[in-house]
Amino acid sequence: MPRPARPLRSRRRHLALAALTAVALGAAAAAPAAHAQDEPTDLITNGDFADGTAGWWTTANLTGAVDAGEWCIDVPGGTANAWDAIVGQDGLPLVTGESYELQFTARASSDVSVRALVQRPVDPWPTALEEFPLLTAEPQDFSFTFTANADWTDAQLAFQIGRHAEPWQFCLSEVKLLTGAEPPVYDPDTGPRVRVNQVAYVQDGPKRATLVTESAESVPWRLHDAEGALVAEGATAPYGEESTSGESVHVIDFSAVTAAGEGFTLTADGETSYPFAIGGDAYRDLAVDAMSFYYPQRSGIAIDDAIAPGYGREAGHVDVAPNQGDGSVTCFGGACDYTLDVTGGWYDAGDHGKYVVNGGISVAQLMSVYERTLHAPTGDAGRLADGSLRIPEHGDGVPDVLDEARWEIEFLMSMQVPAGEELAGMAHHKVHDERWTGLPLMPADDPQPRYLYPPSTAATLNLAAAAAQAARLFEPYDAEFAAQALEAAETAWAAALAHPDVYAPNTSPDGGGPYGDSKVEDEFYWAAAELFLTTGAKEYEEFVLDSKLHDADVFSESGFWWGEVAQLGKLDLALVPNALPGRDEVVAQVVAGADLYLAQQDESPWDLGYGSNGNFDWGSNSAVLNRLVVVATAFDLTGEARYRDGVLAGLDYILGRNAMGNSYVTGYGSHFSENQHSRWYANQLDPNLPNPPAGTLSGGPNSIASTWDPVAQRWLAGCAPQRCYIDDIGSWATNELTVNWNAPLAQIANFAAEQSGDLQVSPSCEVEYRINGQWPSGFNAQILVTNTGDEPLEDVTLRWTMPTGQSIVSSWSVKLDQEGQVVTATDLGGGTALKAGRTFTFGFIGSKDGRPAVAPAYVGCTAG
């Protein structure tokens, strides 16, 4: 039989080619230079089973027989984990830097995938090779190469063959572990060297592409439409060697093109890009998909296939065996004498854990998708209305994104320590399995006991911040729930003040991630800001003003993420109307942060404002997107087009204009991530399971991934930062999906969806908003609108958000409509054009509560 006969999914072909090369060279004895004198040695004892099963062992639940050099083993059904049934051989010596080839032939009585490992058989199971070969009734020859990065005298070859529901038979023959193999080479399919945003360029937005080329000179480029007609042409701008990609690149700028449609391609240097759209609705779709990602991520509810087609499944962790359920969970190690019902919420990622700090930041960012539409001049709440997402809660009159957020907020609230206990009001840091489970494993099939892990100040404050934000957003829809959320937030706040230094450790018991955090000033700041925005209370105002983070520059290189949340407080203080003394300073900080991120982005030939220091962190794609959230907020605050354009260009990197030629969003683009690490979207391991839903973001390149997961260790050592990525389900350090990474994707996709033409902020329209007088219950405002450009402005419309507690009573020389807090001003100057250099003036009387009247942070001006 030709080797390798391993069935390959198209995306994995490059890996197979590397393995094939290794085999061919090995077979021809063309061993690598360092081992030129050595004949390959086989480390396996009795790999041809000539001596029965001598040298091999199995777990006690397996029986088998050898016949004609093939060992066939009966595997029982109904086990949960791959490692519940193992065939192995121990005592294999591995040498650092040496490359090895594992060969074997295997078949199975039914189509199953198994886990083939070379590892050390001691906790934490360091792994040199992990593969998931798919077996069929036909015997197949498999070949995998790897390089050892430690000296082990006691490595183990293990075939983990458990976790299948039905009994089956596993047959193994011709097993070899050969020394002297050619090191595996990662040669990913990066597609055409003309790298584009594979989804869409906004019609009047920036349009750039990046050409990977060795050419030192500028080369011509051509843009063609779907019919092949030439639309535009120009010359590239050479950039030279670029550090994050390790490649030499040129920039193609076709921003001047305003033609719209699908199927455009760019050609340069003999390469034609993947097709892309200009204009159109792609970002509206992406916005819906990125937010609908959360429904099948829900715990504690059956996923309805009619709502999320292809993703229907049983409810996870609802006290139905084999689940032990989240209905009555106690503390790990007997640390408490109560149980909590923590059913519900979202699974964090590809695991079944639920972590409060990460849930808190995720739900806050999702709520901000909605909250932004109330306060940003281009915000469009209509797109988020009841019925807009693929979720079950249609017809309740609540915007769907808030319904989705509520699923998580209720879970966060359930994690609070009950009244009467020592740490009452604090939130448990997390709930997860006692031990890590294997892949795949549907949520409903997880048999592990689950525990609450100790409360932490960070989790308590995350809950306080998210629940406080929920309280103000749910107020118009469900006042009772809003009040409950506020009570939970204030209780949490008081508990955090009473226990300000209970830190979650950086190491975790088995079965879940640590989410360790021993610096909580930022959590205090964020929670105080949200509580202030919701209540206006002095206590929170003072806390915000007194925090040393209030004047500090938190918009630094490292951006914001679950461990660094002060920015979230500042973004909301800047955007959500409030009467914080010196609020302008916060607005200025946000804008300065956006300037920094934009300046970094402008330096990059990929429009990538991240990682120029050579570090791409775990979940780097979320860091890229979180920076864009800051830039987007600067646009909402200033209306300056360069921030809008910065966000749109920054999105290119995520959607394919990168060193991998890969869109990191499932279902978007020609070449996209689809094997994200997940226990239930595990199509790569079991063809009966789906890939992740469209709109799922992959974590993305991680420059130190090879120190983490075995797949990255095997393929990504020595990679340039942007290339430290592999679309393999085993690479949890580069290719996981998480609730906190999809949230900024949802924010930026929603922002992009709104930049499609209708609501342009006019750059030549300047607005001055004066409070001319105020008394305890009211105020008098005058607004001056000046045309600073050379052309007349037609149909001038202003839009702003009234600070909380203020509303319009009467007005003159204008038509004012107030919906909620959003005011729209039309009919300025009786509807006539505003001539160049001229000013319209109008005014109104407003009512207010006890707080001083303040001007809104920003007034948007659009013209027809």
Note if the bond before 133 is cis, omega within 30 degrees. no
Close Cβ partners of 194 (under 8 Å, ≥ 6 residues apart): 209, 210, 211, 221, 252, 266, 267, 268, 269, 271, 272, 273
803 lines the binding site for ligand 9MR (CB under 6 A): no
From the list 451-459, 512-520, 642-650, 785-793, the region that binds ligand 9MR by CB under 6 A is 512-520
Out of 84, 247, 400, 736, which one is annotated catalytic? 736
Nearer to ligand 9MR, 684 or 734 (CB): 734
Residue 493 gets which letter from DSSP? H
Computed over its alpha carbons, how large is the radius of gyration of the chain? 29
Out of 70, 677, 709, 754, which one is annotated catalytic? 677
Closest contact distance (angstroms) between CB of 505 and ligand 9MR is: 11
φ, ψ of residue 763 in degrees (nearest 5)? -70, -20
One residue of 101, 348, 490, 727 binding ligand 9MR per CB under 6 A: 348
Structure tokens at 842: 């109008």
Nearer to ligand 9MR, 349 or 628 (CB): 349
Nearer to ligand 9MR, 93 or 514 (CB): 514
Nearer to ligand 9MR, 617 or 652 (CB): 617
Residue 663 gets which letter from DSSP? B
Closest contact distance (angstroms) between CB of 329 and ligand 9MR is: 18
Give the whole-angstrom CA distance, residue 361 versus residue 741: 10
- Do 208 and 607 meet the contact criterion of CB atoms below 8 Å apart? yes
Alpha helices (H) along 519-582: 521-535, 538-546, 566-575
Nearer to ligand 9MR, 357 or 793 (CB): 357
Tell me, yes or no, if 541 is annotated catalytic. no
Residue 314 gets which letter from DSSP? P
Nearer to ligand 9MR, 355 or 751 (CB): 355
One residue of 76, 234, 438, 513 binding ligand 9MR per CB under 6 A: 513
Closest contact distance (angstroms) between CB of 617 and ligand 9MR is: 7
Helix (H) or strand (E) holding 769: strand 765-775
Give the whole-angstrom CA distance, residue 511 versus residue 220: 55
User: Could you tell me how many residues make up the chain?
Assistant: 864
Out of 530, 727, 728, 754, which one is annotated catalytic? 727
Give the whole-angstrom CA distance, residue 356 versus residue 352: 13
Closest contact distance (angstroms) between CB of 514 and ligand 9MR is: 5
Nearer to ligand 9MR, 78 or 449 (CB): 449
Interhelix angle 739-753/641-654, nearest 10 degrees: 130
Tell me, yes or no, if 736 is annotated catalytic. yes
Spacing of C-alpha 539 from chain mean position: 35
Nearer to ligand 9MR, 353 or 379 (CB): 353
Give the whole-angstrom CA distance, residue 18 versus residue 289: 35
Closest contact distance (angstroms) between CB of 437 and ligand 9MR is: 12
One residue of 40, 325, 353, 700 binding ligand 9MR per CB under 6 A: 353
Residue 619 gets which letter from DSSP? T
From the list 142-150, 377-385, 511-519, 641-649, the region that binds ligand 9MR by CB under 6 A is 511-519
Give the whole-angstrom CA distance, residue 534 versus residue 541: 11
From the list 197-205, 380-388, 529-537, 731-739, the region that binds ligand 9MR by CB under 6 A is 731-739
Structure tokens at 480: 């009772």
Nearer to ligand 9MR, 289 or 348 (CB): 348
One residue of 411, 532, 618, 653 binding ligand 9MR per CB under 6 A: 618
From the list 33-41, 394-402, 730-738, 803-811, the region that binds ligand 9MR by CB under 6 A is 730-738
From the list 71-79, 343-351, 597-605, 788-796, the region that binds ligand 9MR by CB under 6 A is 343-351
Structure tokens at 749: 């996709």
Closest contact distance (angstroms) between CB of 313 and ligand 9MR is: 19
Nearer to ligand 9MR, 7 or 514 (CB): 514
From the list 16-24, 345-353, 653-661, 808-816, the region that binds ligand 9MR by CB under 6 A is 345-353
Residue 299 gets which letter from DSSP? S
Closest contact distance (angstroms) between CB of 564 and ligand 9MR is: 10
Closest contact distance (angstroms) between CB of 656 and ligand 9MR is: 23
One residue of 64, 619, 667, 669 binding ligand 9MR per CB under 6 A: 619
Tell me, yes or no, if 677 is annotated catalytic. yes
- Do 328 and 312 meet the contact criterion of CB atoms below 8 Å apart? no
Residue 807 gets which letter from DSSP? E
From the list 174-182, 346-354, 639-647, 748-756, the region that binds ligand 9MR by CB under 6 A is 346-354
Closest contact distance (angstroms) between CB of 515 and ligand 9MR is: 6
CA atoms lying within 13 Å on the CB side of residue 757 = 12
φ, ψ of residue 155 in degrees (nearest 5)? -70, 160
Nearer to ligand 9MR, 6 or 679 (CB): 679
Neighbours of 763 (CB within 10 A): 14
| Angle, CA 475 vertex, CA 471 and CA 476 arms, to 5° | 155
Give the whole-angstrom CA distance, residue 30 versus residue 78: 46
Q: How many residues bind ligand 9MR (CB under 6 A)?
A: 12
Q: In what order do the strands lie in the sheet with 168-178?
A: 63-67, 70-75, 168-178, 99-108, 140-147
732 lines the binding site for ligand 9MR (CB under 6 A): yes
Structure tokens at 686: 């079991």
Binding mask 403-442 for ligand 9MR (x = CB under 6 A): ----------------------------------------
Alpha helices (H) along 558-674: 566-575, 583-603, 620-638, 641-654
- Do 373 and 379 meet the contact criterion of CB atoms below 8 Å apart? yes
Closest contact distance (angstroms) between CB of 619 and ligand 9MR is: 5
From the list 212-220, 460-468, 508-516, 759-767, the region that binds ligand 9MR by CB under 6 A is 508-516
Q: Are strands 140-147 and 99-108 parallel, antiparallel or unpaired?
A: antiparallel
Please provide the DSSP assignment of 138-195 as one string.
Answer: S-EEEEEEEE--S-EEEEEEEEE----SS-EEEEEEEEEEESSPPPP--------SEE
Nearer to ligand 9MR, 515 or 555 (CB): 515
514 lines the binding site for ligand 9MR (CB under 6 A): yes
Structure tokens at 65: 């027989």
- Do 780 and 772 meet the contact criterion of CB atoms below 8 Å apart? yes
Of 734-763, binders to ligand 9MR (CB under 6 A) are 736, 738
Give the whole-angstrom CA distance, residue 369 versus residue 384: 9
Closest contact distance (angstroms) between CB of 562 and ligand 9MR is: 7
445 lines the binding site for ligand 9MR (CB under 6 A): no
Residue 374, helix vs strand vs coil: helix
From the list 302-310, 391-399, 634-642, 732-740, the region that binds ligand 9MR by CB under 6 A is 732-740
In the bound state, the residue with its beta carbon closest to ligand 9MR is 513
349 lines the binding site for ligand 9MR (CB under 6 A): yes
- Do 784 and 855 meet the contact criterion of CB atoms below 8 Å apart? no
- Do 27 and 101 meet the contact criterion of CB atoms below 8 Å apart? no
Closest contact distance (angstroms) between CB of 732 and ligand 9MR is: 6
Nearer to ligand 9MR, 238 or 513 (CB): 513
Closest contact distance (angstroms) between CB of 374 and ligand 9MR is: 30
* Footprint on this chain of ligand 9MR (rule: CB under 6 A): 348-349, 351, 353, 513-515, 618-619, 732, 736, 738
The catalytic site residues sit at 677, 727, 736
